[in-house]
Amino acid sequence: MIKSELVQRIADQNTHLYQRDIENIVSAILDEIVKALERGDRVELRGFGAFSRKARSARIGRNPRTGDAVAVEEKFVPVFKTGKELRQRLNGKA
């Protein structure tokens, strides 16, 4: 399923809304999650999962093609942990 299909499904259930509005709603939700992570906050959605970010310290990496050493700066990576309910649904429970 891609974003436009998600929008379509929600639109089918909410015929009183414009598709345009649904697109904006989906974008607003996703944007809010990213903005929270930018601030360093975590996003916890019970039954779904939690988004957070982790720091990766600076390291000396290597260009895999040439073998040259390159400095990699400290950075953050987003992580997602699947919620309990969804984890169970994936395995046919609940």
Partner 1 sequence: MAAQTVTRADLCEAVYQKIGLSRTESSKLVEAVLDEICDAVARGENVKLSSFGSFVVRDKGERIGRNPKTGVEVPIEPRRVMVFKPSNVMKARINGQSGEGESE
Cα–Cα distance, 64 to 3 (Å, whole number): 34
Q: Residue 70 — φ and ψ, nearest 5°?
A: -135, 140
Cα–Cα distance, 23 to 4 (Å, whole number): 8
- CB nearer to partner 1: give 40 or 62: 40
Q: Does 84 sit near partner 1 (CB under 8 A)?
A: no
CA 71, distance to chain mean position in Å, is 27
Q: How far is the CB of 70 from partner 1 (least distance, A)?
A: 12
* From candidates 39, 60, 64, 66, binder to partner 1 by CB under 8 A: 39
* From candidates 19, 32, 57, 61, binder to partner 1 by CB under 8 A: 32
Which pair of structure tokens corresponds to residue 54?
Answer: 């982790």
Which pair of structure tokens corresponds to residue 90?
Answer: 């994936």
Q: Does 58 sit near partner 1 (CB under 8 A)?
A: no
Neighbouring-strand partners of residue 76: 55
Q: Which residues bind partner 1 (CB under 8 A)?
A: 1-3, 6, 9-10, 13-14, 17, 21-22, 24-26, 28-34, 36-49, 51, 53, 75-80, 82, 86-87, 89-91
